[in-house]
Amino acid sequence: MPEIHLSQLVKRYGKTEVLHGIELSMAENEFTVLVGPSGCGKSTTLRMIAGLESVSDGEIYFDGKPVSHLEPKDRDLAMVFQDYALYPHMNVARNMSFALRLEKRPKDEIDRKVREVAATLGLSDYLERKPGELSGGQRQRVAMGRALTRDASTFLFDEPLSNLDAKLRGQMRAELALMSQRVQKNMIYVTHDQIEAMTLADRIVVMHGGYIQQEGTPEELFKRPINRFVAGFLGTPPMNFLGANIEQRGDEAFVAGDGFALRLEGAQADAAKKHSAREVTVGVRPSDIDYAPDAPSDRALTLQPLVSEYIGAQSVLLCENKAGNVTVEVKSETPVALGEPLTFAVNPERIHLFDRQSEAAL
Amino acid sequence: MNSANRLTPYLFMAPAIVIMGIALIYPLGYMMYGSLLDWNPSQSIEEAEFVGLKNYITLWGDPNFHESLAVTLIFAFVGVSIELVLGVGLALLLDRNLRGMTLLRTMFILPMMIAPVVVGLMWRYMFHPTVGTFNRTLEALGLPTVDWLGQNALLSVIIADVWQWTPFIFILSLAALQSLPRSALEAARIDGATAWQQIIHIKLPLMMPVLIVTGLLRLIDAFKVLEVILVLTEGGPGLSTEILALRISRTATEFRELGVAAAMSNYLLILLMLLTAAMFTLSRIQEIRANRVRAAAEEDS
Ligand SMILES: Nc1ncnc2c1ncn2[C@@H]1O[C@H](COP(=O)(O)OP(=O)(O)OP(=O)(O)O)[C@@H](O)[C@H]1O
Ligand SMILES: [Mg+2]
């Protein structure tokens, strides 16, 4: 429920600084997803919000009140730990009801709540088992259940579904999406799974090396990444990057690289003209390239498909080109011959340009 | 081939078993046999007269033996209980990473390193009715002095033992505490547990296996303690601090009845074995009960 604000949050372990001034506001009842490569500081951020790690510098505000001096129990939050952190000596039911029992809730209420949550998580048959007698995925669900029985105002999830099989993960994801609509809670969620991030988030925060790279709605981040890192991090298969230069030919702007010259359109062309002859990296998502033998050369790439990976309705083609390797996503039925140079059309509106040096979007 | 494979492990264990047999079983057997004899130290074991269970029966009805047994039980259980409470309490207090903690922890375990005879002498001096540290301090504070090694001899002996052996429980508890899963404690903090609730619901239950073994080791040790009491009180006044080990040694040396001493040792041994067995049965029963509850629950669903 509270509006959470991280103000210039810094974390140091001894001399090494792992978070360098995180500035982030999370509105009331917002579902915020933190993503980023391993070791970028997601768990550390979450643990500082929870009060498990001390704040080296900066402050955390809940509804405008500084909380960094408060114990975790005074921050009214529930958390799912990356390593589950179950109580080894308690069975599943007691693990899930620990917080409620500490609050001295009536026994039948606790029982009801535990059974209800256990049922949604598919744990009803395991209530009497100790964590040591469960599989990894079952333990992870217990960790999830322990948070979901709580009535806290903020929920922190640290990769809560990472160990579940695809089907179960889909179910849990739907369950979480439902829950976040139904109850008015703040959710802060760390994940490596792009689908989870895209489907659950009101807002995604991309972190890298202890800095926030970009934050925004999933759509904003996907369509307008502000730098090469964000562009390459979100989206599967990842975006293709090709080295090129901006060239102005008469009234038109092109990005030209080894063996290709793509004409830019609209606002991007206007912007590009200001950076004539600039060295850039061209970014194109595999889904924005399509097999089109008749495409005009100013919006086409000549690629030589080497491998075709069949993934159902789509196939991913790994292709070679003078400027480097390019992946293309095409409909499975598209007739492509491997090993031959073929013409692929690029959607000109979906071309991303990044400065070669600073890697920032132009 | 197959049977050879199955026997191989025993083959490798054989030397250890033989050495155990010689080092453990032989003296034990010797003592068993000795307890059935009317045997005095000037005789060799062949010359001693075989009297069957007479030594055991005499002891069974001997009020002095009863008193000694009672003193031993009080000393061991009261002493070890206090040590457990203090040792675990200290470990809970000092389980944190502050500057100087290592030094403090090292100082806490010093008493354990001092030879028991020295401990006895030290405490005898401190308990001395007129020049002892305690009574002088009490006097200086204007309080009545205490007759430490007189009326309160058993209490004094327990105090000395607590001083020496609390550190043992302290280090083992501290080690147990520091190997607890950190993340479970963090989860408890998130779940709203106060420091006290964390101790009661998480730390102590998780330390329990270590505490049981530690307590058992201490009990066994306390049943056999000798030097400190010998130096402090020599079992007096009267029989008030004459614990079994002391009585056994006096029976053997002063009363020159080796057979009776051996029988007494065997009673002590039986007592200790019963104690150990009881501990393990208890934890086994708890385990079985937990399993049964679980099995029932899983059948239901
Ligand atoms: N106790 C610690 N002492 C020193 N460095 C630490 C400590 N805990 C974490 N770090 C460092 O802080 C950085 C961020 O760690 P963190 O656990 O937040 O990463 P993460 O983004 O959650 O990664 P993952 O996705 O692998 O869980 C890492 O480089 C890690 O090595
Ligand atoms: Mg992490």
* Interface predicted TM-score (ipTM): 0.85
Q: Does B293 touch chain A (CB under 8 A)?
A: yes
For chain A, where are the alpha helices, taking DSSP H only? 42-50, 92-102, 107-121, 136-148, 166-182, 194-200, 218-223, 228-233, 266-273
Task: Please check whether residues A112 and A139 belong to one and the same domain.
Answer: yes
**Which residues in chain B have Cβ-Cβ distances shorter than 8 Å to A89?**
205-206
For chain B, the average pLDDT equals 86
**Secondary structure of chain A: what % helix, strand, coil (to 5)?**
30, 35, 35
Domain housing A206: 4-228
Strands A31-35 and A65-66: unpaired
Q: Residue B183: which H helix or E strand, with range? A: helix B182-190
Per-residue pLDDT of B129-181, as tens digits, reads 888 888 888 888 888 888 888 888 889 899 999 999 999 999 999 989 999 99
Q: What is the domain count for chain A?
A: 2
Q: Which atom belonging to ligand 1 lies closest to the Cα atom of A47?
A: 18
DSSP A206-238: EEETTEEEEEE-HHHHHH--SBHHHHHHSSSSP
pLDDT tens sequence across A146-186: 999 998 999 999 999 988 898 989 988 998 888 888 888 89
Measured between beta carbons, the chain B residues lying within 8 angstroms of A103 are 192
Under the banding of pLDDT at 50, 70 and 90, the label for residue B294 is confident
**A265 and A211 in a common domain:** no
Q: Mean per-residue pLDDT for A243-250?
A: 88
User: Average pLDDT of A37-46?
Assistant: 94
Residue A132 CA, ligand 1 centroid: distance in Å: 26
User: To the nearest whole number, what is the mean pLDDT of chain A?
Assistant: 91
Same domain flag for A255 and A214: no
Question: Would A33 be classed as within a structural domain?
Answer: yes
d(CA A36, CA A230): 9
Q: Taking phi first (over 0 means left), then psi (-120 to 50 degrees means alpha), and beta for anything else, what does residue B294 get?
A: alpha
**pLDDT band for position B105 (50/70/90)?**
confident
Contact B104, B167 (CB under 8 A): no
Average pLDDT over residues A112-130: 92
Nearest CA to ligand 1 atom 11: A18
- Other Cβ atoms less than 10 A from the Cβ of B10: the count is 9
Contact assignment for A88 to B191 by CB distance below 8 Å: no
* Predicted pLDDT at B253: 86
Q: Which of A203, A228, A253 is the last residue of a domain?
A: A228
Residue at A207 is within a domain: yes
CA distances from B171 to A76, A198, B181, B214 (A): 36, 51, 18, 10
Which whole number is the average pLDDT over A237-262?
A: 89
Q: Is A37 in the pocket of ligand 1 (CB under 6 A)?
A: no
Q: Is the CB of A38 under 6 A from ligand 1?
A: yes
Q: Do A128 and B190 touch (CB under 8 A)?
A: no
Mutate to test the interface with B, among A67, A102, A129 (most CBs of B within 10 A): A102
Q: Name the residue among A36, A145, A163 with its Cα closest to residue A95.
A: A145
Q: Are residues A210 and A68 in the same domain?
A: yes
- On whether both A220 and A283 belong to a single domain, the answer is no
Res A202: pLDDT: 92
Q: Which of residues 179-208 of B touch A (CB under 8 A)?
A: 181, 183-184, 186-194, 197, 201-202, 205-206
Dump pLDDT digits (tens) for A272-324. 888 888 899 999 999 999 999 888 988 899 999 999 998 888 999 999 988 88
**Ligand 1, closest atom to CA A45?**
18
Ligand 1 midpoint to CA B179 (Å): 21
Facing residue for A128 by CB, picked from B191, B201, B297: B297
The structure's pTM equals 0.83
The rounded distance, in Å, linking the Cα atoms of B124 and B33 is 38
My answer on whether A219 and A327 are in the same domain is no
What is the rounded distance in angstroms from the CA atom of residue B132 to the CA atom of residue B147?
A: 11
Q: Are residues A136 and A18 in the same domain?
A: yes
Identify whether A202 is part of a domain. yes
Sequence-separated (6 or more) residues with CB below 8 Å from residue A202: A30, A31, A32, A217
- Asked whether A7 and A59 are in contact (CB, 8 A), the reply is yes
Give the pLDDT score at A333.
85
CA of B172 to nearest chain A CA: how many angstroms apart? 20
pLDDT digits 0-9 by tens, B121-134: 999 899 888 888 88
**Strand partners for A331:** A314
Pair A48, A196 in one domain: yes
Judgement on whether residues A91 and A145 belong to the same structural domain of the protein: yes
Bond preceding residue A160 cis, omega within 30 of 0 = no
Tell whether A121 and A50 lie within a shared domain.
yes
Coil vs helix vs strand at A315: strand
Domain boundary residue, one of A169, A194, A228: A228
Among the partner-chain residues B187, B189, B294, the one whose CB lies closest to the CB of A71 is B189
**pLDDT of amino acid B2:** 61
The residue among B97, B189, B190 with the most chain A CBs within 10 A of its CB, best to mutate, is: B190
For domain B63-300, give its CATH number from 1.10.1060.10, 2.30.110.10, 1.10.3720.10, 2.40.50.360: 1.10.3720.10
A208 Cβ inside 6 Å of ligand 1: no
Domain-embedded: residue A234: no
Same domain for A203 and A167, yes or no, is: yes
Residue B299: predicted pLDDT: 65
Contact: A98, B191; criterion CB under 8 Å: yes
CATH number at A29 reads: 3.40.50.300
pLDDT in tens, A14-38: 999 999 999 999 998 899 999 999 9
Mutation target for A interface from B96, B191, B287: give the one with most A CBs within 10 A: B191
Nearest 5°: phi and psi at B234? 55, 30
A361: in domain: no
SS3 A188: strand
Distance B98 CA to ligand 1 centre (A): 23
Co-location of A84 and A119 in the same domain = yes
Q: What is the mean pLDDT of residues B240-256?
A: 86
Instruction: Pick the last residue of a domain from A199, A228, A257.
Output: A228
Sequence-distant (6+) residues with CB within 8 A of B294 are A91, A128, A129
